[in-house]
Amino acid sequence: MRRIKELVLNNFLVVRAVFMREILYWIRYPMWFLTFFSFPYLVSGLFYSIGYALSGENATKYFSERAGTTNVFLYQLVGSAIFIISILMIEEVGYSIRAEQLRGTLEYNYIAKANKIVLWGSVVLPHGLVSLSTLAISLIPALYIGLKSINPLDLILGILVLFIGLLPLFGIGFIVAALTMRFKEPWAVTNIIKAFLSAFSGFNYPITILPLWLQYVSNMLPTTIVTNIIREAILFNRKLYTMNYQLGLLIFMSTIYSITAFTVYKKWEMEARKRGELSKY
Amino acid sequence: MRDYAIVTKDLTKVFITKERKGFLKRGTKKRIIAVDHVNFKVRNGEIFGLLGPNGAGKTTTIKLLATLLIPDDGEAWVNGYHIVQEADKVRESIGVSLYSDRGLYWKLTGRENLRYFAFLYHLPPKVAERRIEDLLEIVDLKGDADKLVEEYSTGMKAKLNLARALLNDAPILMLDEPTLGLDPYSARRVRELILKLRDEGKTILLTTHNMEEADNLCDKIAIINKGKIVALGTPEDLKRMVERQDIVVIEAVNINETLIKILRSKDYVSYVSENIKDPLSMSGTLRIGLNENSREALPNLLALMAKYKIKVQYIKVTGPSLEDVFITLTKRGFYEEDQRTSTK
C-alpha cells in the first residue's frame, strides 16, 4: 500500500512538473491565446464566404438542408473550434519530442528517474486544459447569441467530451513524436495528418456529402465522432447519456491509439539508444 | 566490484554514418568505432578523467555509462548496476552534465528549470525547494535564479547545468567538459566545486581536453584516442611514461610551415606540436620536444626563429606534461582535430 502511494505521489510530481513547464511556456508565448480566440471565428467566416461564393444567396438554405440545422454559423463555429483544438493537439504532441531534441533537453528528461510514459503522456493535460478553457471562453458569447438558452452543464459536458476526444489525437500525435526520435521530420507527417483530419472529420460540412466509402473512413476518425457528439448536444439538445455508443467508441479509440503510441515509442526509444539518435538534432 | 563505482569491460560503440556526395548521388555508409573495447575501473570517491582530443570518444563513453546509448559490445557497471539490464538503477545512481550551455528550458528561469528536474527526480516540493536554494548558493547563481535562462551567459548556463547534475544527490557524477567555454574565474570556481564534491565522497567521472585541468583535478586519467584508451594511471604515472626530456614551449606570431619543416628535420628535435589560435596572424603555441639538453638546443632554436621572422612573445623550458604523453603515445598532436599540427 505504501509503495502504491509512493508511486502515485511520484508520478503526480512528474505530471505537475510537465504541467507547470507547459503553462509557463504558454504564458511566456502569449500570442497563442489570440489564435485560440480568433481562429474559430475566422475559419467559420472562411467557409461561410466560400459557400456564399459558390451558391450565392441560397447557400445557407442548401447548407441547412444537408446539415439539418438552420443555425449554420453555430454549426460552423463548433466545427471550427474542434478543428483548431484537434490540429493543435496533433501538432504540439507530434513536435514535443523533436522540440526536446532540438533544445538538448531530451537526454536530461530521459535520464531522470521519471517514468517515461507518464513524462511524455503528461503533455496532454496542460495542452488540453489551456486550449479547451480558452476556446470555451471565446465561444460562450457566440453560443449565447446562437442559442437563446444554453445549459452551462451541457457546455461543461461538451468540453469533457472534447477532452476525451483529444486522447486519441494525443495517441496519433505521439506516434509521430516517437517516430521522429529516429526520422526527425514531424512536420511532414503531422501536416499530412492535419490535412486528412481537416478534410474528412466533418468540421465544416456534413460528411454525408462524401462518397459512401469515404464516409466509412470518416466515421473511424475520433475527430468525426467528437464533432458529431458536440453538435448533437449543442445544436439538437441531445443528452450525452443517449450517445453511449459514440462515447464508448471514443474511449475505445483513445485506448487503442495510446497503446499503439507507447508501443511505437518503446521500439523507437531502443532504436534511438542503439543508433545514438537521442542527441542528434 | 564493491570498491569500484564504475567498471567497464571491453565497452564498444559503433556508429554508422552516411557520407553525402552531392545532390543526387547516393551516400556511402561508413562505420565509425567511437569507443573501441574500453576497459577501466573508477574507485569510489575518486575523480577519474577521460582525456582526449575532440572526437576521441569521451562523450560517447559517458553517454554509454549514463544509459543514453546501448553498447554494441562489452559491458559496464555503474554503482554495481549493469548499464543495459539495470538501466533504471543506474539512472538513480548518477548525476549528469552533458553540455555546458545546452539542455535547458530557455523560457524558464534557472530556478524553474531546477524545480522541473527536481520533480522528475521525485523530490517532494519542500525538499526540492531547500535543495534548489542550497545548489543555487553552491554554484553562485542565487542572484540570477529568477532570470529566464535565455538571459544567462554561457558560464551561468554551465553552472546551472552543474547544479542540475547535483539535484538528486547521486553518489556518482558524470561531467562532460564541465569548464568548456567558461571564463577563467568561472572555470576555477567549477574546479574548486568538483574537488569539494570529491572530498564529500562523490565519485566523479569527467571528460576534458584541457591538460592542466586533468592534471590538477584528476586522481586518475585515461588518455583516449580514436576510441581507444592509450594510457591509464595517475597524472604522475603517465608523465613518467615519457622519457626524461626537455620541452620548449614557445608562444609566437607568424608561425609558418617552413619553420615547422626545418624544426622537424633537426636531430635535436624529437617532435613539434603546433596549436594555432589565430589563423590570421598565425599566432599560437609551438611545443617542441628535445632529444638533448635544452641549454645546447635553445640558442639554435632562437636563431631559427629569428631567421624565419617568427615573433617570439614568450618562451619557457619545461618537463613533460600530459600533452607530451599523448603526443608520444599516439604520434599525433593533441589539437590535430582542431588545428594544423605536425609531429615528427
* CB-CB neighbors (< 8 A) of A111 in chain B: 66-68, 91, 94, 96
Q: By CA distance, what is A107's nearest residue in B?
A: B68
Contact B211, B239 (CB under 8 A): no
CB contact under 8 A, A111 and B63: no
* Ramachandran angles phi, psi of A70, nearest 5°: -90, -15
CB contact under 8 A, A25 and B122: no
* CB-CB neighbors (< 8 A) of A20 in chain B: 112, 115-116
List strands edge to edge, sheet with B28-43. B28-43, B4-19, B73-78, B81-82
Contacts 24+ apart (CB under 8 A), A142-150: A142/A40, A142/A41, A142/A73, A142/A74, A142/A77, A143/A74, A143/A234, A146/A71, A146/A73, A146/A74, A146/A77, A147/A71, A147/A74, A147/A234, A150/A234
Give the DSSP per-residue string, A90-102: HHHHHHHHHHHHH
3-state percent helix, strand, coil for chain B, nearest multiple of 5: 35, 30, 35
Better-scored residue on pLDDT, A243 or B7: B7
A185 touches chain B (CB under 8 A): no
Residue in A64, A178, A75 with CA at minimum distance from that of residue A121: A178
pLDDT for res A146: 63
Using the structure block, give the residue that is written with the C-alpha cell 577521460. B50
How far apart, in whole angstroms, are the C-alpha atoms of residue B273 and residue B298?
17
Q: What is the pLDDT along chain B (344 residues), one digit of tens a residue?
A: 668 999 999 999 999 887 777 777 777 888 899 999 999 999 999 999 999 888 889 999 999 999 999 999 999 999 999 999 999 999 999 999 987 678 999 999 999 999 999 999 999 999 999 999 999 999 989 999 999 999 999 889 989 999 999 999 999 999 999 888 788 888 888 899 999 999 999 999 999 888 888 888 999 999 998 899 999 999 988 888 776 678 899 999 988 888 888 988 888 888 888 888 888 888 899 988 888 777 788 888 889 899 988 899 999 888 888 888 888 777 676 665 544 344 44
Q: Which one-letter amino acid corresponds to residue B94?
A: I
How far apart, in whole angstroms, are the C-alpha atoms of residue B225 and residue A137?
61
Distance from the A98 Cα atom to the nearest Cα atom in chain B, whole angstroms: 13
Q: Which one-letter amino acid corresponds to residue B102?
A: R
Contacts 24+ apart (CB under 8 A), B135-141: B135/B163, B135/B166, B135/B167, B136/B110, B136/B111, B136/B163, B138/B163, B138/B166, B138/B193, B139/B163, B139/B193, B140/B189, B141/B110
B272 touches chain A (CB under 8 A): no
How far apart, in whole angstroms, are the C-alpha atoms of residue B132 and residue B145?
10
Q: By CA distance, what is B64's nearest residue in A?
A: A273
How far apart, in whole angstroms, are the C-alpha atoms of residue B257 and residue B243?
27
* CB-CB neighbors (< 8 A) of B63 in chain A: 107, 276, 279
Q: Looking at residues A56-61, what average pLDDT do you find?
A: 87
pLDDT for res B2: 66
**Backbone angle region of B177, left / alpha / beta, with phi > 0 → left and psi within -120 to 50 → alpha:** left
CB contact under 8 A, A104 and B164: no
Among the partner residues B94, B98, B105, nearest to A107 by beta-carbon distance: B98
Alpha helices in A104-123 (DSSP H): 106-111, 116-121
Banded model confidence at residue A281, pLDDT cuts 50, 70, 90: low
pLDDT for res B341: 41
Q: By CA distance, what is A16's nearest residue in B?
A: B119
Q: Determine the residue among B18, B64, B68 to mutate to test chain A binding: the one whose Cβ has the most chain A Cβ atoms within 10 Å.
A: B68
Distance from the B211 Cα atom to the nearest Cα atom in chain A, whole angstroms: 27
* CB-CB neighbors (< 8 A) of B92 in chain A: 113
Q: By CA distance, what is B13's nearest residue in A?
A: A274
**pLDDT (tens digit, 9 = 90+) per residue, A24-55?**
998 998 887 787 778 888 888 888 899 889 88
User: A155: exposed, middle or buried (C-beta count within 10 Å: 0-12, 13-18, 19+)?
Assistant: middle
B61 touches chain A (CB under 8 A): no
CB contact under 8 A, A108 and B103: yes
Q: Determine the residue among B116, B157, B160, B169 to mutate to test chain A binding: the one whose Cβ has the most chain A Cβ atoms within 10 Å.
A: B116
Q: Determine the residue among A22, A108, A110, A116 to mutate to test chain B binding: the one whose Cβ has the most chain B Cβ atoms within 10 Å.
A: A108
Average pLDDT, chain A: 85
Q: Which one-letter amino acid corresponds to residue A125?
A: L
Alpha helices in chain B (DSSP H): 58-65, 87-93, 110-120, 125-138, 154-166, 184-199, 211-217, 235-240, 257-265, 294-307, 322-330
Interior CA angle at A175 toward A170 and A178, to 5°?
115
Among the partner residues A16, A104, A276, nearest to B69 by beta-carbon distance: A276
CB contact under 8 A, B119 and A270: no
pLDDT for res A149: 60
* CB-CB neighbors (< 8 A) of B70 in chain A: 270, 273-274
* CB-CB neighbors (< 8 A) of B107 in chain A: 24-25, 28-29
Q: Looking at residues A1-10, what average pLDDT do you find?
A: 88
Q: Which one-letter amino acid corresponds to residue B188?
A: R
CB contact under 8 A, B91 and A113: yes
How far apart, in whole angstroms, are the C-alpha atoms of residue B242 and residue B320?
7
**pLDDT (tens digit, 9 = 90+) per residue, A165-205?**
888 888 888 888 888 777 777 888 888 888 999 999 999 99
Size of interface A-B (CB pairs under 8 A): 98
Report whether pLDDT(A10) > 70.
Answer: yes
A24 touches chain B (CB under 8 A): yes
Among the partner residues B70, B94, B106, nearest to A273 by beta-carbon distance: B70
CB contact under 8 A, B105 and A270: no
A274 touches chain B (CB under 8 A): yes
Contact A97, A106 (CB under 8 A): yes
Residue in B281, B339, B337, B343 with CA at minimum distance from that of residue B309: B281
Distance from the B220 Cα atom to the nearest Cα atom in chain A, whole angstroms: 26
Q: Is the dihedral of CA B61, B65, B67, B72 positive or negative?
A: positive
Distance from the A41 Cα atom to the nearest Cα atom in chain B, whole angstroms: 30
- Partnered with residue B77 across adjacent β-strands are B7, B82
pLDDT for res B340: 38
pLDDT for res B338: 45
Residue in A227, A225, A215, A243 with CA at minimum distance from that of residue A74: A227
* CB-CB neighbors (< 8 A) of A279 in chain B: 63, 68, 98
* CB-CB neighbors (< 8 A) of B106 in chain A: 103
Q: Is the dihedral of CA B238, B8, A277, B31 positive or negative?
A: positive
* Ramachandran angles phi, psi of A101, nearest 5°: -60, -45
Residues 72-91 of A with CB under 8 A from B: none
ipTM over 0.85: no
How far apart, in whole angstroms, are the C-alpha atoms of residue B66 and residue B81?
11
* Ramachandran angles phi, psi of B327, nearest 5°: -65, -45
**pLDDT (tens digit, 9 = 90+) per residue, A78-130?**
888 888 888 888 888 888 888 888 888 999 999 999 998 889 888 888 888 88
How far apart, in whole angstroms, are the C-alpha atoms of residue B129 and residue B145?
12
* Ramachandran angles phi, psi of B78, nearest 5°: -120, 125
**Number of other CB atoms surrounding residue B276 within 10 Å:** 18
